[in-house]
Structure 1
Amino acid sequence: MKALIFAAGKGTRLKPFTDHHPKALAKVNGIPLLERNIKYLKSFGITDFVINIHHFGNQIVEFLKENNNFECHVELSDEADELLETGGGLIFARKFLDHGEDFLIMNADILTNININNFVEYHKNIKDFATLAVSDRDSSRKLLFNDEMVLRGWLNVQTGEQRLAEFNKGFKPLAFSGVHCINPVIFEKIKRTGKFSIMEEYLDLMQTERIHGFVHDSVLIDVGRPESIIEAEKHFK
């Protein structure tokens, strides 16, 4: 199985580090996020990676070269011309991923110990084109699921704004974990082009398609701010 790691973002919340470096090279206990996530996925047998780059992308290229790609096969999806966000980045990387096999997507600034084998098995059993890892934790935005764990809506916790596929019948609000398992048939379903968020596409597709959530209670830290590095260092040695 291939994994696409999103490492292109500007990481503005991690300033001043990201004034001179890509967020994927921010360190937790001395180890860059990108290295941690490659080794984490490698521990589940994944050795084939696509990494998208933009912001200080040359530093990621050099980092991988210095470390011999961590003995993995790595392809770079270079968004040098324009940062395309998660949806646009996925479409831009299509040539590396559209080969009939399911693949993982993971944000470079997420640290977790989700059991990837269990996640992939769940995805394959339900045969969806997209399965999203979710958990019950604090988040300003939540995805809403019905009793069968099918995506039916989105909620902004702070403003109360909702986007729903149907009347909210007590849907479960869960936070997205930044980890997806995808079947390449998704490339035929996505309508947007250019720069866009994959979540926007999921919220459109939930009207007509079944997108499941995989609930986990694993450690998950969004290492987006300097203070979250401190939190991450308590959990990831």
Structure 2
Amino acid sequence: MTVSAITVPKRAMVLAAGLGTRLRPLTNDRPKALVEVAGRTLLEITLTRLKSFGVEDVIVNTHHFAEMVESYLAAHGGFGMRIAISREDVLLDTGGGLKKAAWFLRDSGEPFFLHNVDVLSEIDLAAMARLHAEQGALATLAVQARETSRPLLFDEHDELCGRVLKDGEREMVWPVADAEALAFAGIHVISPRIFDLLNEDGVFSIIPEYLRLAGGLAAAGEKIAAYRVDGAYWRDMGKPESIAAAERDVAAGLIG
């Protein structure tokens, strides 16, 4: 596979610090990052996939069984990548975890991937990165037309304009009559200038910040863009039955 060195990020962050409560009892004695699918850990699958698209430097956040993750990465030589660790004594959520890793991600001045460790996909990350560069987006989110309890809302230009809350109410950052509800796939491409724009500190989710930035910066040309991956293989590894389903998918050749 040939990818553009200009538009495909060389750096990434893997979100691996969570408690993995939905995966219990598999996470009673290990972090979710080290749960296996067909003999390979979720962390190995994520890292080797990122590497296949040209990523060279990765920061992994840790918390639950942090030492196990760090020892595992050391024992496997970082799977041929340069690996840094961002240990969180308190879980910082997606936004807080990202902001804590700013020292690693912003220096190159180039976009980077942010990838949940507990999703499996065949999403074309190179095409996603190219779209991000072409759009000049602040962040680009992989999204799908599928059922989800917390969809994001996008306008006719595939720009983030709101979300659906737990009670079914719509939170809009600007009025869009026919906004499309799409499910987030847990993979982002982010421009490092975001670190100058994040107002929150400590524990916070990145999605409310995306909404704030989309609404506040739209007039200045900033955008949070959608990358549609409706036809791509994707599976959330949040529950034990998802692991079994993914192993069947591997056996069927649906995912490598």
Normalising TM by the smaller chain, what interval? over 0.9
Residue of structure 2 equivalent to 1:224: 238
Matches within 5 A, 1:176-187: 176-187=184-195
Residue of structure 1 equivalent to 2:65: 56
Structure 1 unaligned blocks of 5 or more: none
Residue of structure 2 equivalent to 1:233: 247
Q: 3-state SS of the aligned residue for 2:55?
A: coil
Deviation readout 1:20-63 (Å, 9 max, x if unpaired): 11001111111100000111111111121110111001001111
Matches within 5 A, 1:6-45: 6-45=15-54
Compute the displacement of 1:82 (Å): 1.1
Matches within 5 A, 1:144-223: 144-156=153-165, 159-209=167-217, 210-216=223-229, 217-223=231-237
Q: 3-state SS of the aligned residue for 1:51?
A: strand
Compute the displacement of 1:110 (Å): 0.8
List structure 1 runs of 4+ shifted beyond 6 angstroms: none
Compute the displacement of 1:168 (Å): 3.5
Q: Which amino acid aligns with 2:241?
A: E
Aligned identity (percent) is 40
Structure 1 range deviating more: 118-127 or 18-27: 18-27
Compute the displacement of 1:166 (Å): 2.4
Counterparts of 1:208 and 1:143 in 2: how far apart (Å)? 17
Deviation readout 1:94-116 (Å, 9 max, x if unpaired): 11011111100000001111001
Structure 2 unaligned blocks of 5 or more: 1-9, 218-222, 252-256
Counterparts of 2:97 and 2:174 in 1: how far apart (Å)? 29
Counterparts of 1:207 and 1:234 in 2: how far apart (Å)? 42
Deviation readout 1:111-153 (Å, 9 max, x if unpaired): 1110011000000001111111101112111111111001011
Counterparts of 1:25 and 1:200 in 2: how far apart (Å)? 29
Compute the displacement of 1:235 (Å): 2.4
Residue of structure 1 equivalent to 2:97: 89
Q: Which amino acid aligns with 1:55?
A: H
Corresponding pairs, count: 235
| TM-score normalised by length of structure 2 | 0.89
Q: 3-state SS of the aligned residue for 2:17?
A: coil
Counterparts of 1:198 and 1:42 in 2: how far apart (Å)? 24
Counterparts of 1:236 and 1:112 in 2: how far apart (Å)? 11
Residue of structure 1 equivalent to 2:254: none
**Is residue 135 of structure 2 the alignment partner of residue 126 of structure 1?**
yes
| TM-score normalised by length of structure 1 | 0.96
Counterparts of 2:249 and 2:74 in 1: how far apart (Å)? 28
Counterparts of 2:30 and 2:192 in 1: how far apart (Å)? 32
Q: Which amino acid aligns with 1:232?
A: A
Q: Which amino acid aligns with 1:147?
A: E
Residue of structure 2 equivalent to 1:114: 123
Cα root mean square deviation, aligned: 1.2
Counterparts of 2:244 and 2:178 in 1: how far apart (Å)? 36
